[in-house]
Amino acid sequence: MLYTAHTTYDDIENKAVGDFGCGCGILSIAAAMMGSAYNVGFDIDPDAIAIALRNCEEFEIEMDFILADLSESAVLPSSSGNSTSSHDSFTMMKGKLDTILMNPPFGTREKGIDMVFLKRGIDLANHAVYSLHKTSTREHILKKAKEWGVKCEVVAELRYNLDKSYSFHKKKSQDIAVDFLRFEKCL
Amino acid sequence: MRLITHNMLQCHVKGCNANNFPLEFQEVELEQEEAEMNEDFLRNMLTKLEYDALVSTCLKLGINDLPATMPADAAYNDEFLQILHRVILETHVKSGKMICPNCKHIYNIRDGIPNMLLAEHEV
């Protein structure tokens, strides 16, 4: 999946790569294997970071982690979509990470959190953002990307088999169609 | 956490919008770990680093190898790039605290991971 980011778009090699909601670190580990120069992962869950650290050790990958809440309200842009006035608690990061990867939470009760992640990533990234979203939300995301003034293309279509992970999930497991999207900031 | 990451972190307590960078280290435990040097990456980072903040942070940690101002020929100054590499990519903060110069909020670092989470009333 990330291979395309590397070979087609040259968004990985020698780059500073951020990983939003890094979980066990798999996307960053893949990026590091393809030659990213610096990796930093963000997650709200210390247990996930602990697992990610062990995975990095196993693959002998150097990566920093930050325990942080990326859905924090400070980032929410004003409804006009004009983000210049909004105060972001990560402004210091702005433009420093060439590429931001994310697998934002979806299929949870908190609707729209994936869009908060995405907006934040697009604000902070220097060049490109890669993200996974349910195919059913593609139209909505394409519309948003246009509003935000970024290019968006579908890099790959995948199928996920999601096991029942919340008590409100009705089925034991469900196949869902997922898009791997690339956003590029137009300078 | 390496010092390059610290160079991007600021306080984000609600209402703390000025003088909230760089976070001041206290009681830190440092470790040097060798890493492969990537000159292209370093050159790319030269314009992105908050260099003054990096120098002042280093001085407080007792690291005084960096020149006070970035050399004009930094991109092709091998000696400088090597020092920079050692400082930002090989110096790890294993544990300690980071304190906001403005509101004095304390962010703890454990097992090399800074905890930037805030309590609900601080967001």
Only one residue has tokens 């979806």, namely: A106
Q: Is residue B42 part of a domain?
A: yes
Query: pLDDT-derived band of residue A187, with 50, 70 and 90 as boundaries?
Result: low
User: Which residue in B48, B84, B120 has the most chain A C-beta atoms within 10 A of its own C-beta, making it the best mutation to test that interface?
Assistant: B48
Question: Does an H or E element contain A17, and which?
Answer: strand A16-20
Interface contacts A/B by beta carbons within 8 Å: 77
Rounded to the nearest 10 degrees, how much is the dihedral formed by the CA atoms of A25, A31, A32, A38? -90
Q: How far apart are the first and last CA of chain B?
A: 24
Q: What is the pLDDT of residue A85?
A: 36
Q: Put residue B27 in one of left, alpha, beta given phi > 0 → left and psi -120 to 50 → alpha.
A: left
Q: What is the DSSP string of A19-57?
A: EET-TT-HHHHHHHHTT-SEEEEEES-HHHHHHHHHHHH
Q: Is residue A88 part of a domain?
A: no
Helical ranges in A125-183 per DSSP H: 138-148
CA distance linking residue A95 with residue A19, whole number of Å: 14
| Number of domains within chain B | 1
pLDDT (mean) for A158-183: 81
Window 19-48 of B: residues touching A by CB (8 A cutoff) are 21, 33, 35, 38, 40-41, 44-45, 48
CA distance linking residue A114 with residue A157, whole number of Å: 18
Q: Is residue A82 part of a domain?
A: no
Q: Is residue B115 part of a domain?
A: no
Q: Is residue B123 part of a domain?
A: no
> Do residues A105 and A114 touch, judged by C-beta distance below 8 A?
yes
Domain region containing B21: 3-110
Residue-averaged pLDDT of chain A = 87
Q: Is residue B47 part of a domain?
A: yes
B14 touches chain A (CB under 8 A): yes
Q: Is residue A120 part of a domain?
A: yes
Q: Is residue A30 part of a domain?
A: yes
Q: What is the pLDDT of residue B14?
A: 86
ipTM of the complex: 0.94
Q: Is residue A137 part of a domain?
A: yes
Q: Is residue B44 part of a domain?
A: yes
Coil, strand, or helix at residue B108?
Answer: strand
Q: Is residue B121 part of a domain?
A: no
Q: Which CATH number is A47's domain given? A: 3.40.50.150
> Do residues B11 and B20 touch, judged by C-beta distance below 8 A?
yes
B105 touches chain A (CB under 8 A): no
Q: Is residue B96 part of a domain?
A: yes
Q: Which CATH number is B43's domain given? A: 2.20.25.10
Compute CA distances A99 → A11, A48, A141, A179, B111, whole Å: 6, 22, 19, 18, 26
| Surface-to-core class of residue A127, CB atoms within 10 Å of its CB (0-12 exposed, 13-18 middle, 19+ buried) | middle
| Number of domains within chain A | 1
Sequence-distant (≥ 6) Cβ neighbours of residue B81 within 8 angstroms: B37, B39, B42, B43, B74, B75
Q: What is the pLDDT of residue A107?
A: 58
B116 touches chain A (CB under 8 A): yes
Strand order in the sheet with B91-99: B24-32, B91-99, B106-110, B113-114
The pLDDT tens digits of the residues spanning B29-44 come to: 999 999 999 999 999 9
Q: What is the pLDDT of residue A152?
A: 97
User: Which residue in A20, A57, A66 has the most chain B C-beta atoms within 10 A of its own C-beta, making it the best mutation to test that interface?
Assistant: A66
Give the one of B8, B41, B115 whose C-beta lies nearest to A14's C-beta.
Answer: B41
- Specify the higher pLDDT residue, A78 or A139: A139
Query: pLDDT-derived band of residue A110, with 50, 70 and 90 as boundaries?
Result: low
Q: Is residue B119 part of a domain?
A: no
Domain region containing A15: 2-72+93-185
Only one residue has tokens 């908050």, namely: B50
Only one residue has tokens 């210390």, namely: A46
The pLDDT tens digits of the residues spanning A77-95 come to: 434 344 433 456 788 899 9
Question: Is the model's pLDDT at A160 over the cut of 90?
Answer: no
Give the one of B10, B38, B113 whose C-beta lies nearest to A14's C-beta.
Answer: B38
Low-confidence residues of chain B, pLDDT below 50?
none
C-alpha B5 chain-centroid distance: 6
Q: What is the pLDDT of residue A109?
A: 58
